[in-house]
Structure formats: C-alpha cells, structure tokens
Amino acid sequence: MNNYTIINLEQGSPAWFEWRSNGITATDMSVLTKDNPFRSEIDIFDEKCNLREHDEKNAAMEHGHKYEIVVRDYLNAVNEDRHFVPLCVEGAKLHYKASLDAFDVLNSVLYEIKCPVSEKILADVVLSNTVPNYWKSQLAWQCSIVHPETAAFAVYDYRTKYILIVPFELPKKEEIERMQDLADDFWCKIQWGARPNSANGLYASLDDPQLISLLEEYDSMFFQEKTIIAKRKELREKILAYGNGNNFSAGCFDIARIDPRDSYDYEKMRADGIDLEKYLKPKSGENMFRITKKRKS
C-alpha cells in the first residue's frame, strides 16, 4: 500500500520551487543529517521563509539537468518492462517532499540520477563504486517517502559517456524514523520562525569600547607576529648561506641538516580505492573561533 501522493508539477518550474519551499526535501535532509558540506540549516531556513532568493542554476546544475534526461532514456531503453519517470511526491505528512529523478511506480524501482562534474566523485564511483554521503542521505529520504522495492544511483560519467549503476541499501526503520524526527523538528522551527543557530553567518553586534580596544591590540600583535616570522625566515636564509649546504657550528649554536618528512599522496590513495574518510578522527574544538578584522576596501 502506497502512503504517498503524486504531485503534478514540472520540476524546475516556478510552481515546483514554491512547492519545495513548503516542506522538507531530499536536499534539505542531506543538510539536516550533517552530510551536505555545501549548505547549512540557515540556508534552508532563509529560503523557506523567503529571507533569501533560491539558488539560481549554475553550470553544474545545468550540466546535471541536461544529462539527467539522457540517463533516464537509457534506463527505459535497457529495462523494457520498466517505465521510469520524474515525479514529485509527498509523504505521510505534507512537509515530507521529494523530487524523484526516475521512478517506476508499477514495479516500485527508484533511481537517483547524478551527473557530477567533480573528478574526485567520478573517481570514487569508477574505482570503488562509492558515492558521497550527502547523496546517500538524499536517496534515503526519497526511499522513506515512496518505500521502493529497490533503489540505486545512476551516475553519468561525462568523460566516457558511461552510465554507472551504484546499488543502494534501503534505509531501515530506525533510520527512517530518525530522518522524520529531523524533518518534523526543523519544520516546527520554520513554522515558529525560530532561526537556527550557526557558527557561521550569525553575528551579535557588540559596541563595547573595551572589547574594541582588546580586538585592536590582538590584531596589532597578529601583524607583529607575521612581521617576526618573515624576519626569522630572512635571517635563517642568511645564516644557512654560511654553511654552503653542510652542517656547522658557530659559538654555542649547532646548525644541522634535517631530512624532510615523508608525506602521503592522498589523491593517489583515493584513486587506488582507499576510503580515507573512514579514518578521519571526529572533529574537536566545537567552540573554536576565528578572529578577523574587516579591512577597508
């Protein structure tokens, strides 16, 4: 039994943008799950509340739209018993929304079409059959609404014109409930006008003379530090010139050559299929701040 409603809208039309503004979409969910590195909850909130313009189509988006049709035609051509169409759907609650790229309603098969321009993403797909986490959370949200029998990514490689299929594990009940909780909580914030807090983009304006004095002193010391570092580098080069590339002593000082440290070629490791992200340590320093001075233009 389907617990979703098909909405008759053309994706990319003004009515479609308006419809997306009145709910939580798959793109929104990738932000709420902290998987999307390109957008923030502030961005979502401001768009839903008409505090900022919707992002206009850029070159990457135009590229994706152009080849999405190609991929969908391919899926229909190689699956004669299937009929994949783009759909707009709403879930059990009206603010559960998703725009599907290729969904066969009769057979309940879902494809999320991706046409990336990023060489790194394409390398990950080709060499290790992996996709970014924010793609996964997008497709998981779509699955939570239409509950397909199977789902996968269809990734278009513009360099070779190949279409690569990456299987997707359907979200479990616990994951669906977690996403629904995130959607409900954020939608309540939008309804109540409770703009999310963010470490970036929100500034409380403080007009305290003592604070301004401390900041000016901090900025002055920072400039002095940069000057000292530059001077030390200059002195170091002059000192090393005395040794002609050899170890030497002068007074109570020893000057010795140090072999350079080995380093890792991370891009080559990724190209060899090593998932570096899995070895990343959790971020520390949640309350770290950066102090910068607005320079006059």
pLDDT at residue 293, rounded to an integer: 61
Q: Indicate whether 297 pLDDT > 50.
A: no
Q: How far lies 100's CA from each of 55, 84, 87, 113, 183, in Å? A: 19, 10, 5, 9, 18
Q: Which residues contact 290 (CB under 8 A, 6 or more apart)?
A: none
pLDDT at residue 292, rounded to an integer: 60
pLDDT at residue 201, rounded to an integer: 47
Main-chain dihedrals φ then ψ at residue 156, nearest 5 degrees = -95, 125
Compute the C-alpha angle 198/204/205, nearest 5°. Answer: 155
Q: What is the mean pLDDT of residues 138-166?
A: 96
Report d(CA 219, CA 12) in Å as an integer: 47
| pLDDT single digits (tens) 4-31 | 999 999 988 899 999 999 999 999 999 9
The pLDDT-based confidence of 288 (bands split at 50, 70, 90) is low
pLDDT at residue 8, rounded to an integer: 95
Got the DSSP string for 24-83? B-HHHHHHHTT--SS--HHHHHHHHTTSSPPPPP-HHHHHHHHHHHHHHHHHHHH-TT--
pLDDT at residue 112, rounded to an integer: 97
| pLDDT single digits (tens) 89-113 | 999 999 999 999 999 999 999 999 9
Contact 65, 12 (CB under 8 A): yes
Contact 113, 68 (CB under 8 A): yes
| pLDDT single digits (tens) 33-82 | 999 888 889 889 988 988 766 665 666 778 888 899 999 999 999 988 99
pLDDT at residue 170, rounded to an integer: 97
Q: Is the dihedral of CA 275, 277, 280, 282 positive or negative?
A: negative
The one-letter amino acid at 24: I
Contact 145, 91 (CB under 8 A): yes
Report d(CA 156, CA 135) in Å as an integer: 14
| pLDDT single digits (tens) 209-240 | 788 888 888 878 866 877 888 888 889 888 88
Q: Which residues contact 114 (CB under 8 A, 6 or more apart)?
A: 64, 131, 135, 153, 154, 155, 156
| pLDDT single digits (tens) 155-207 | 999 989 999 999 999 999 999 999 999 999 999 999 988 888 755 444 556 66
Q: Which residues pair with 72 in a beta bridge?
A: none
Got the DSSP string for 241-256? GGGTTS-EEETTEEE-
Report d(CA 136, CA 34) in Å as an integer: 12
The pLDDT-based confidence of 291 (bands split at 50, 70, 90) is low
